[in-house]
Amino acid sequence: GQNIDQPTEMTATEGAIVQINCTYQTSGFNGLFWYQQHAGEAPTFLSYNVLDGLEEKGRFSSFLSRSKGYSYLLLKELQMKDSASYLCAALDSNYQLIWGAGTKLIIKP
Partner 1 sequence: IAGITQAPTSQILAAGRRMTLRCTQDMRHNAMYWYRQDLGLGLRLIHYSNTAGTTGKGEVPDGYSVSRANTDDFPLTLASAVPSQTSVYFCASSDSGTGELFFGEGSRLTVL
Q: Which residues bind partner 1 (CB under 8 A)?
A: 4, 8, 30-31, 33, 35, 41-45, 48, 87, 89, 91, 95-102
Closer CB to partner 1, 69 or 100, in the complex = 100
- Name the minimum Å distance from CB 79 to partner 1: 23
- Cα gap 47→56, rounded to integer Å: 9
Do residues 34 and 46 lie in contact, with contact meaning Cβ atoms separated by under 8 Å? yes
Closer CB to partner 1, 6 or 78, in the complex = 6
- Cα gap 45→82, rounded to integer Å: 14
